[in-house]
Amino acid sequence: MLGAFVLWEKRSSHPMLELSFFSSPRFSAAVSSMAIVLFALMGGLFVLTQYLQFSLGYSALAAGLRIAPVAGVLLVTAPLSTPLVRLLGTKAVVCTGLGVIAAGMLIVSSTTVHGGYMDALPAFILIGAGTGLAMAPSTDSVMGSVPPELAGAGSATNGAFLQTGGALGVAVLGSLLNGRYKGHLAPLLQGHQIPADVLHTINGSLGGALAVAQQVGGAMGTGLASAARQGFVLGMDLSSETAGYVVIGAALLVLVVLPSRARKPRAGK
């Protein structure tokens, strides 16, 4: 479907997606890096909010407050990226931001079932700081690489890449987590006569497994809750490690392709 869409847009006299944008390394590298930032950020937050609530036992409000450092640090570092770009260039700042995000995701990937909030806090700070450093210069590169009369199309393309990156982050990282989680529980559940709907609830999410464990009670319920938490943390480690390496790949792409500094295009060029 994407291939057919591209072919249609190439032949259209008034394309919805201006494919000529992608002939600019500045545009292509920047828009791709932002999509991957959202891939890691949205996928990571999707996993980490569940970790805070179900594994560490915080309420929804308490979990939201504890993940707030991501936004707080982002608000501080994003304005700082502008003078840093003037001093060091876009490539250096965006690469640094991506590297910091990757470091945060790899810290999350070392989480154990015995870890606590303070073990995850450094990762939240790094993810927020890296996002602030990478997003603003990348956005400036995207919008600065398109002619003024096509700024609307450039902004829309940027927005579409951001949304796609975030959606893929939730889908891919969530699938990796769920696969590892179910794989960890499968051998433990074999040999037990468990109704299909209850088994679906256990395999569906950590929250579902904990609810079943609470209803079962006793040693069996305690064992199920412990195994479910362990499986979830193993899945979170896998998804976070994957996100970290994907962001490292984006940093390498930016390092190779993104110009450090570029002139803004003139109208009609």
Interior/surface letters 83-120, b for 16+ CB within 10 angstroms, e for the rest: ebbeebbbbbbbbbbbbbbbbbbbbbbebeeeeeeeeb
Q: Rounded mean pLDDT of 77-104?
A: 93
Q: Rounded mean pLDDT of 16-38?
A: 89
Q: Rounded mean pLDDT of 134-163?
A: 89
Instruction: Report percent pLDDT > 70 for the chain.
Output: 97
Q: Rounded mean pLDDT of 234-246?
A: 95
User: From 3.30.450.40, 3.10.20.520, 3.30.1200.10, 1.20.1250.20, which CATH number describes the 25-172+240-257 domain?
Assistant: 1.20.1250.20
Backbone angles phi, psi at 266, to 5 degrees: -85, 160
Q: Rounded mean pLDDT of 96-100?
A: 95
Q: Where residue 269 falls among pLDDT bands split at 50, 70, 90? A: very low
Domain layout of the chain by residue ranges: 25-172+240-257
Kindly report the average pLDDT of the chain as a whole number: 90
Going by C-alpha positions, the residue among 172, 133, 174, 180 that lies closest to residue 34 is: 133
Q: What DSSP string runs through 72-129?
A: HHHHHHHHHHHHHHHHH-HHHHHHHHHHHHHHHHHHHTT--TT--HHHHHHHHHHHHH
Q: Provide the angle, in degrees to the nearest 10, between the axes of the packed helices 90-108 and 117-144.
A: 150
Using the predicted structure, report yes or no on whether residue 267 has a pLDDT greater than 60.
no
Instruction: Convert the pLDDT of each residue in 43-60 to its tens digit.
Output: 999 999 999 998 898 999
Using the predicted structure, report yes or no on whether residue 262 has a pLDDT greater than 80.
no
| Spatial contact of 206 and 50, defined as CB atoms under 8 Å apart | yes
pLDDT of amino acid 261: 66
Going by C-alpha positions, the residue among 168, 164, 171, 172 that lies closest to residue 17 is: 164
Instruction: Convert the pLDDT of each residue in 166-180 to its tens digit.
Output: 999 999 999 999 999
Backbone angles phi, psi at 182, to 5 degrees: -65, -40
Higher pLDDT, 221 or 191: 221
Q: How far is CA 187 from CA 111, 119, 157, 183, 207, in A?
A: 23, 30, 46, 8, 20
* Separation between Cα atoms, residue 168 and residue 173, nearest integer Å: 8
